[in-house]
Amino acid sequence: MSEDDILVVENLTKNFDVGRGQMVRAVDDVSFSVKRGETLGLVGESGCGKSTTARLILRLIEATSGSVMFEEQDLLKLPTNEMRRLRRRAQIVFQDPYASLNPRMTVRDIIGEGPLVWGMKANLDDRVAEVMTRVGLNPDWAKRYPHEFSGGQRQRIGIARALALDPTLIICDEPVSALDVSVQAQILNLLTDLQDELDLTLIFIAHDLSVVRHISDRVAVMYLGRIAELGTRDEVYERPSHPYTRALLSAVPIPDPVTERNRARTMLEGDPPSPLNPPSGCRFHPRCPIAQQVCSEVEPVLGSEAVGHPVACHFAEAIPQV
């Protein structure tokens, strides 16, 4: 664990037992670290294990194996009471601002719930007003209920709730996926500002690669429970080296008709396979445009030898850069 790492995840694995002897290998041997004050983007298609990774880190579900070092302690080994103490400092913001806020609680009670649990009864209203102002909500609205707010405002409430306990780490699980572009921009700008002002560390989960490029310092690309590629924003977006990253990037439409219609596109075939029975060898091999015999037999390790940043592909160095 290097000094400026706030979080180090090692060999994190989660198998869901779905009966009849079947296991969903939702997260499989995932390792990465997050530096204090940075934003790590976690991207990948539906079902690749992003939310499960988030839940494992915060111990909302128990891991099958692995370790999660947060501020120098292994969260997965902590007794519950100490875990609760640390969890104050690591918060989560969910995708659906509608589903994640209790409709029968006022905004004040939603935001104040955490501080109250921690015995911060004195000055509670001041605290609530302070975080509401910080996220751009009028503190006079504290007595209102979630349904009286628009989608973007509800997401601000979710962020205010996360901020109320002065966390150092916030995991945002698809925080803008349910929002319109104009409102999405408001929330992205807010997160950027909060991070600067409060020196927050963010893990930003999304399937939208454009949003992740905008907000992240480093990016991890997941495929079927594993990390396919991990690097700085520029390494991943300017020099993508896993065939999956490249295909994914080339599939994202660019909002410019001239660029969009003249670009070369790697079209992947089929859908991502089920994590119930992940393919042998490299999990991407059935859809990979450059797969060879070895790919179906040997699982590639996530290594930096080929291109200078971690890529899990037998032929990472062989892919010509464009």
Ligand X SMILES: Nc1ncnc2c1ncn2[C@@H]1O[C@H](COP(=O)(O)OP(=O)(O)OP(=O)(O)O)[C@@H](O)[C@H]1O
Does residue 99 touch ligand X according to CB under 6 A? Answer: no
Q: What are residue 74's DSSP bridge partners?
A: 69
Does residue 268 touch other proteins according to CB under 8 A? Answer: yes
The entry of other proteins, ligand SF4, Mg ion, none that residue 184 binds, CB within 5 to 8 Å by partner kind: other proteins
Rounded distance between C-alpha atoms, residue 316 and residue 307, angstroms: 7
Judged by beta carbon, residue 14 or residue 108, the one nearer ligand X is: 14
The entry of ligand SF4, other proteins, Mg ion, none that residue 243 binds, CB within 5 to 8 Å by partner kind: ligand SF4
Q: Which of 282, 302, 309, 310 binds ligand SF4 (CB under 6 A)?
A: 282
Rounded distance between C-alpha atoms, residue 226 and residue 34, angstroms: 17
SS3 196: helix
Judged by beta carbon, residue 66 or residue 112, the one nearer ligand X is: 66
Residue 211 Cβ vs ligand SF4, minimum distance, rounded to whole Å: 24
The entry of other proteins, Mg ion, ligand X, none that residue 141 binds, CB within 5 to 8 Å by partner kind: none
Judged by beta carbon, residue 46 or residue 321, the one nearer ligand X is: 46
Task: Find the DSSP H helices in the chain.
Answer: 50-57, 80-87, 107-117, 124-134, 151-163, 181-198, 209-215, 233-238, 243-251, 257-262, 293-297
Number of residues located near ligand SF4, criterion CB under 6 A: 13
Residue 186 Cβ vs ligand X, minimum distance, rounded to whole Å: 18
Site for ligand X in 260-279 (CB under 6 A): 275
Does residue 52 touch ligand X according to CB under 6 A? Answer: yes
Does residue 47 touch ligand X according to CB under 6 A? Answer: yes
Give 127-133 contacts, CB < 8 A, sequence gap 24+. Answer: 127/164, 128/160, 128/164, 131/160, 131/163, 131/164, 132/107, 132/160
Residue 65 Cβ vs ligand SF4, minimum distance, rounded to whole Å: 24
Does residue 284 touch ligand SF4 according to CB under 6 A? Answer: yes
Does residue 247 touch ligand SF4 according to CB under 6 A? Answer: no
Does residue 2 touch ligand X according to CB under 6 A? Answer: no
Does residue 276 touch other proteins according to CB under 8 A? Answer: no
Judged by beta carbon, residue 215 or residue 220, the one nearer other proteins is: 215
The entry of other proteins, ligand X, ligand SF4, none that residue 291 binds, CB within 5 to 8 Å by partner kind: ligand SF4
Does residue 56 touch ligand X according to CB under 6 A? Answer: no
Q: What are residue 133's DSSP bridge partners?
A: none
Q: Which of 102, 189, 280, 292 binds other proteins (CB under 8 A)?
A: 189
Rounded distance between C-alpha atoms, residue 124 and residue 122, angstroms: 5
- The single-letter code of the amino acid at 71 is E
Does residue 105 touch other proteins according to CB under 8 A? Answer: no
SS3 assignment for 243-283: HHHHHHHHHCCCCCHHHHHHCCCCCCCCCCCCCCCCCCCCC
Does residue 148 touch other proteins according to CB under 8 A? Answer: no
Element (H, E) at 321: none
Question: What is 11-58 written as a DSSP string?
Answer: EEEEEEE-STT-EEEEEEEEEEEEETT-EEEEE-STTSSHHHHHHHHT
Rounded distance between C-alpha atoms, residue 261 and residue 253, angstroms: 10
Does residue 288 touch ligand SF4 according to CB under 6 A? Answer: yes
